[in-house]
Amino acid sequence: MNPTLDLYSLLRDELSQLFISWEFSPVHAARVWRYLYWECIDSLDGMQDLPPRVLRKLKEEAFLGSLPTALETRSSDGFTRKYLLNLPEDRKIETVLMRYTGRVTACISSQAGCAMGCVFCATGQMGFSRHLTTGEIVAQAVHVQRILRTQPGEHGDSQRLRNIVLMGMGEPLHNYDAVIKAIDIFRDSAGLSLSGDRITLSTVGVVPGILRLAKEKKLLHLAVSLHAATQEGRAALVPAAKKWPLSELMAACQTYSEATGKRIFYEWTLIEGKNDSEEDARAVGRLLGKMPAQVNLIPLNPTQGYAGTASRSESARRFQNILADEFSIPSTVRQRRGIDIAAGCGQLAVNA
């Protein structure tokens, strides 16, 4: 009988309690945790210092849910790699490694496919297959960390994973429990040791999930996909807006900011002639008002299922200037990475 317990799905305390239930010392659990998140082994056979009886029990009861690489693609920008990873039932997901000056970021998937159906997003165009488990979410971060440990950076940058963005395939708040548990594992000081300020969760605007984050006061950066400043305009781009209207979304965002004291990053995909005018910028300013906010402007990345084109750089600058000068709202224009390998925002998709 094959074991069904994925070690990547366990919090450190849960792992310790498991070893106690087996009548083993928690010291062995601490050693296993180090193998998982410091050594980043890809097989239980790599735990060579464990006593044979402990390793034997571990193999009988649990498995290490490493996700095999089906394909690695490297961008011509020299900083971005995309990994097509195999799930157990032969579905696949995509994970992206991005290097910046002094830091490395992993863009991680939370679902195979996505049910939200955003019209310009390749993942939304492919539809929903299933939620990822906590272990499958964690395994992606460990996959990137393992690469950083074994493959020196081309540019002499950090060989430690410093940031995680849950902006890959799927809607994180549609898979709330698995995602939040994975974040708790990422934040463990004896493991990957990522602070909440280095973890960003991006949502299309799942109102119940935002309110739950507010109630539980989870330490992370929240990014909300806005893309339009009216209910009609947003519903045309983001079908989920029909279920969670803009007014409800903004009320939930206000609740989140008040409960946590944190600003929200509002994502705005710039589509030429669609939502990049001066009036669009002013509508954003009026919508966000005095809320603690920053706007991330993202030039549209090409996908086969959407005919729109990215706004020109002058349109992005004009949009930024209006937000800053008329509304005192800070904004940034997202640096485009990995477009040639379909690793950019909204481009992740596989045939499930």
What is the structure's pLDDT at 350? 66
Where the chain has pLDDT below 50, the residues are 157, 352
> For the chain, which domains are there?
5-63 (1.10.150.530), 69-341 (3.20.20.70)
User: Quick one: which of 234, 178, 174 has its CA closest to 206?
Assistant: 174
Amino acid at 235: A
Give the C-alpha separation, 22 to 6, whole Å: 16
pLDDT digits (tens, 9 = 90+) for 83-138: 999 999 889 999 999 988 888 999 999 999 999 988 888 787 888 999 999 999 99
Q: Tell me the catalytic residues.
A: 94, 345
Give the C-alpha separation, 211 to 218, whole Å: 11
What is the structure's pLDDT at 339? 66
What is the structure's pLDDT at 153? 58
Quick one: which H or E segment has residue 312?
none
Task: Give the β-pairing of 199-203 and 221-225.
Answer: parallel
Phi-psi region of 159 (alpha: psi -120 to 50; beta: other; left: phi over 0): alpha
User: Quick one: which of 261, 189, 184 has its CA closest to 222?
Assistant: 261
Beta-carbon contacts of residue 273 (< 8 Å; ≥ 6 apart) = none
Give the C-alpha separation, 53 to 24, whole Å: 10
